[in-house]
Amino acid sequence: MRKETFKISGMTCAACAARIERTLKREAGVASIHVNLVMEKGTVIYDKSQISLDTIFERIAKIGFEALPIETKKETQARKKNELKHQKYKFIVSLILSLPLLYTMFAHFSFLSFISVPDLLLNPWFQFILATPIQFLLGWQFYRGAYQSLSNKSANMDVLVAMGTSAAYFYSIYLMFSHTHTVGHVPLYFETSAVLITLILLGKYFEKRAKGHASDAIEKLAALQVHDAEVERAGQICHISIEDVRVGDIVRVRSGAQIPLDGEVIEGWSTVDESMLTGESLPVDKKVGDTVIGSTINQQNFIKVRVTHTGEDLVLNQIIKVVEEAQGEKPQIQRLADKVSNIFVPVVVGIAVITFIVWYFFITPYHLSQALETFIAVIVIACPCALGLATPTSIMVGSGRAAESGVLFKTAESLEQAHRVDTIVFDKTGTLTMGNPEVIKMYDFNVNIQSKSYMKSLEFQSEHPISKAIVTYFDALEILPVDDYQTHTGNGILGKVEGHQIVVGSIAFVKQYTIINEEEMKKVQMLEASGATVIAMSMDGMLAIILGVRDEPKQEAPSVLAQLAKQYDLIMLSGDSEKTAQAIGKTLGLTRVVAGVKPNEKASVIAQLQQEGRYVMMVGDGLNDAPALMKSDIGIAMGSGTDIALESADIALVNGNLQHIIETLQLSRLTIRNIKQNLFFAFCYNMLGIPFAAMGFLAPWLAGTAMAFSSVSVVLNALRLKHISK
């Protein structure tokens, strides 16, 4: 299966997007298709052995739309700017032509008889000359869209606009020729069709402009990208394009300059402003060996950086990709609007026809103009644009706003569902703690003078944070060859060093290979009571060393957990002993701690909570958290964690700050509330507007104004999400 995202032009409302989806779903080889009206993009998963992308594009073209490969950022910006300018010019021309016609409306109202309307403006041929280019040149897009929609046995907004304006326009032509010998003013409806098209064009302009602001967050991120770098090559310093920099190159970064690419500091130290990617206002200290992120700002001193990632592998580009993919997906709440939109236009046409019949035969018998006006008003006010824009615009703005704070919703579904969480499960190491454990106490039983070296030699083979802490603690000792090395995940390690059988791990694990007396257990219990993780080593069946290792809690952890505890059930998972885990939990203010959990058991804990009817969020950062992150309803990976944890999670926190968990839940809650507001407004607007128009309380031009306002107001409401405080 292959996944492709492409641009789609020509869509006007939700019915257009739904028609493209229906058409492609019928094609053999197409597994799924999602069309985003706001972003004007489609994402298809297909079997290339059954159907090609060119064929998919042809099918889209056949139903009246144009599919094109994804543009570059510059091309997209240029195209959107030109489209907005073109839409603006169309409106201005339409306004100039329709203003004289609008002025003639004063002649329709007796209470405005004191306003003089020149005879020229009331001349049928003058009105015809002004209205015709509006109807067929500026309004041609509606005819084209209506034809393409109807030819594919569906109906969209263009059908409603074309029907409503055509009814007014052609009825006016009929009146022109049927009253050629009539003396005096003949009431025509050219101004109705012309003003309607003008108002709809204005609405389209505002809508396109507002939709452009919905993608501001992505454009801001893209604008951060650096275009060139100062690179050291073969003893020479050269300025080259960022595309020509290779992994392993040494780049020079001056004070105040942007770091061009992701890399590792190899010379100097400085502080780096990472706020544009992580949402953290405080600068981060960087020294030799630390990683830096491309496009962040070097604040203090000159540094040299060895490039580790380029192109699509850069953190910034990965963030942009994740956000764009999330914005392109369709959450569950959108399906309701889609179902309504699919049947909406035919139902509205039916209501409009019934309205016409009732008015023409019963309310104002054989008074065609009044029946026609109510028919047009119903048709125009019911355009389903607001329904189509309600969900994708909010998702787009919400996920973009989250990205600015360092929160990456990897799917639209995760943004939609995070607000349902009632239970949050935390991994301990690296999530609630710093992830940099240190040895705080050692008991050496002098079994062998080399026992410390033996312990270091085994731990050197492991990548576990505790192993690294032990290796650092015994930094001055030599590393000896290890034979028969074995790892028991979550428990400990075994091996032979200089012929001695060495076992290192938890007390429970080491107990399987040696006897620990009462005095030694007292030392273990003292360390556990202090919140330290106890690591023991035995040699040839005799206890040799006991270490107390402690990983300090993150500074923000207690306050964040205290805030979350007001609304959610909080649980900490730890592989530590019961006493150690409870001591750490007490420090953090947690009342529920599950201790002695092996990596392969974490997912089982999540499953048990789900069986109790809980909606569970798992927060973790390590390789052993991946199964639990996938099993949970919502998985959050700390940005400082392993790649596999980030891949397994639904949400990633770029800098691993626990404070962002609160922001994640808040953003989800506010985004869903915003979507519901939009859908409520769109549904209520039509439920109230259609009967209001059917009862004759809305003139067609006023219905057109209300229709345009509904679409713009939905987009503007979604844009409020941009102003949520960080």
Which three-class secondary structure state does DSSP give residue 460?
coil
- Looking only at the bridges linking them, the beta strands covering 616-620 and 634-638 are parallel
Helices (H) and strands (E) in the chain, counts: 26, 26
* Tokens read off for 286: 């960087």
* Tokens read off for 252: 């020079």
Planar angle of CA 469, 471, 474, nearest 5 degrees: 110
* Tokens read off for 366: 């054989």
Half-sphere exposure of 276 (CA within 13 A, CB side): 22
At residue 636, what are phi and psi to the nearest 5 degrees? Answer: -115, 125
Tell me if residue 158 is catalytic. Answer: no
- What is the Cα–Cα distance from 229 to 219, expressed in whole angstroms? 22
Half-sphere exposure of 22 (CA within 13 A, CB side): 16
Beta-bridge mates of residue 664: none
The residue from 427, 551, 576, 650 that is catalytic is: 427
Half-sphere exposure of 484 (CA within 13 A, CB side): 10
Residue 485 and residue 477 in contact, taking contact as beta carbons nearer than 8 Å: no
- What is the Cα–Cα distance from 171 to 148, expressed in whole angstroms? 24
Beta-bridge mates of residue 651: 409, 636
User: Could you give the C-alpha distances from 425 to 338, 508, 572, 639, in angstroms and in order?
Assistant: 35, 25, 6, 17
Please identify which residue in the block is written with the tokens 């390590």: 622
- Helices 332-358 and 14-25: angle between axes, nearest 10 degrees: 120
Closest by CA to 356, choosing from 525, 500, 171, 510, is 171
Half-sphere exposure of 539 (CA within 13 A, CB side): 20
- Helices 73-104 and 124-133: angle between axes, nearest 10 degrees: 170
Q: How does DSSP assign 33-74, residue by residue?
A: EEEETTTTEEEEEE-TTT--HHHHHHHHHHTT-EEEEPPPHH
Q: How does DSSP assign 528-575, residue by residue?
A: HHTTPEEEEEEETTEEEEEEEEE-PBPTTHHHHHHHHTTTSEEEEE-S
* Tokens read off for 669: 């809650």
Q: How remote is the C-alpha of 146 from its chain's centroid?
A: 32
- What is the Cα–Cα distance from 22 to 444, expressed in whole angstroms? 72
Q: Which residues are catalytic, by number?
A: 427
